[in-house]
Amino acid sequence: MSKIIAPGAVLGILGSGQLGRMFALAAKRMGYRVHTYSPDRDTPTGQVADKEVQAPYEDLDALAAFSKEVDVVSFEFENVPSLASECAARYVPVRPRGEVLHIIQNRLREKTFISSRGFPLAPFHPVRSEAELEAAVAAIGVPAVLKTAGFGYDGKGQVVIRRPQEARAAWQQLGEVEAVLEGFVDFKSELSVVAARGLDGEFAHYGVIENLHSNHILDLSIPDAPIEPRLRQEAIDIARGLMEALDVVGVLCVEMFLTQDDRLLVNELAPRPHNSGHYTFDACLTDQFEQQVRAICGLPLGATDQQRPAVMANLLGDLWEQGEPNWAAALADPQVKLHLYGKAEPRPGRKMGHLVAFGSDREDARQRALAARAALLKR
């Protein structure tokens, strides 16, 4: 095994949102120090890190200075410029590799890679011009989804095309940037597999998670998706295969569709802990953030056993529209736990925190999560 980065070392995280915050909490619990780097200050990660560096990702001198003070670098979101990871890699290990981010942060590169390795996904065509869009629509048919190749998440940067004559307007709506046209998937459910891979190739996963969305933003995540055992194993095998193909060291989430005819199609990859795995922070023996720490530091991965049925419910800024949410009402159920991310400004659609509710089974946990979130609006 490669040299272990032992507790007491300094872990560097590029990005400073809620994923970095929970990573830092897990790392500090294990005795590590954490430095975070992003263009912002007083960030969710910076509030709990040992040091917060505010500088642009394009400032290679600042990145070099940051990298020299840490023992390993990881990421809390994938839209860090490739030059930033290349710069950091000159001084310390970067895990996962910058090449992984380069592939995943662009939908066209991502889907081309997935397809080239034989994993199942919806048909797609690159779109770099109106002529290519017209050819893609003819090849794939409608309905289809036009998505920007880069910097899209939570439903941003995508338009559904239901008739061929809508294609030009969709292209213009996205700003006529490089895009991907995907076949529209008539899915039965949306699933994810959050998994970890160590330096020695050790693999651990959290099963198959069922995800419910509202306005393209994750709303509820319910572990132990009710699917056939063969599909469960296939989903896990896909996640493991992709991690091995990409040579990921760290955590990867594979988002998938389950079609009406019971086929699994890969939708997107996230090379870091994922919103759908937040429940693990409370419900599992080793949460996804501790796994990230273990993996990038060369430690053995932890057991992923789920202690009790649990459900995660996102808290968006919309809940603040009528004033401060009623935290006491939500926490009146002792089976509910609250996580807030330290963001100063609540905005509609902005992820401000989440609830995790426990129950006697997954349905009981779901009902408790929904009831607790509804109670936040009680006045």
pLDDT of residue 2: 59
pTM: 0.95
Is 247's pLDDT higher than 90?
A: yes
Distance CA 125, CA 135 (A): 9
At the topology level, CATH places domain 123-183 in: Dna Ligase; domain 1 (3.30.1490)
CATH of the domain spanning 10-94, picked from 3.40.50.720, 3.40.190.290, 3.40.50.20, 3.40.50.970: 3.40.50.20
- Band of residue 193 on the pLDDT scale cut at 50, 70, 90: very high
φ, ψ for residue 158, nearest 5 deg: -150, 145
Average pLDDT (2-20) is 95
Query: Can you give the pLDDT at residue 1?
Result: 45
**Mean pLDDT calculated for residue range 172-188:** 92
| Per-residue pLDDT tens digits for 303-339 | 999 999 999 999 999 999 999 999 999 999 999 999 9
pLDDT band at 293 (very low <50, low <70, confident <90, very high): very high
The structure tokens 């997107």 sit at 268
The whole-number pLDDT of residue 151 equals 66
- Per-residue pLDDT averaged across 33-42, rounded? 97
Question: Which tens digits make up the pLDDT trace of 199-221?
Answer: 999 999 999 999 999 988 999 99
Neighbouring C-beta atoms of residue 349, cutoff 10 Å: 14
The full set of domain ranges for the chain reads: 10-94, 123-183, 187-375
| Burial of residue 7, with CB atoms counted within 10 A of its CB: 0-12 exposed, 13-18 middle, 19 or more buried | middle
Mean pLDDT of 171-177: 90
The per-residue pLDDT for range 96-120, each reduced to its tens digit, is: 999 999 999 999 999 999 999 999 9
Q: What is the greatest pairwise CA distance in the chain?
A: 60
Q: What is the mean pLDDT of residues 1-5?
A: 77
| Per-residue pLDDT at 17 exceeds 80 | yes
What does the mean pLDDT of the chain come to? Answer: 95
pLDDT digits over 129-169, tens only? 989 999 999 999 999 999 998 765 555 688 999 999 999 99
Distance CA 117, CA 4 (A): 31
Q: Which amino acid is at 16?
A: S
Kindly report the backbone phi and psi dihedral angles of residue 327, in degrees, each rounded to the nearest multiple of 5, phi listed first.
-65, -40
Superfamily of segment(s) 187-375? ATP-grasp fold, B domain (3.30.470.20)
Q: What is the DSSP string of 304-324?
A: --B-S-EEEEEEEGGGGTTSS
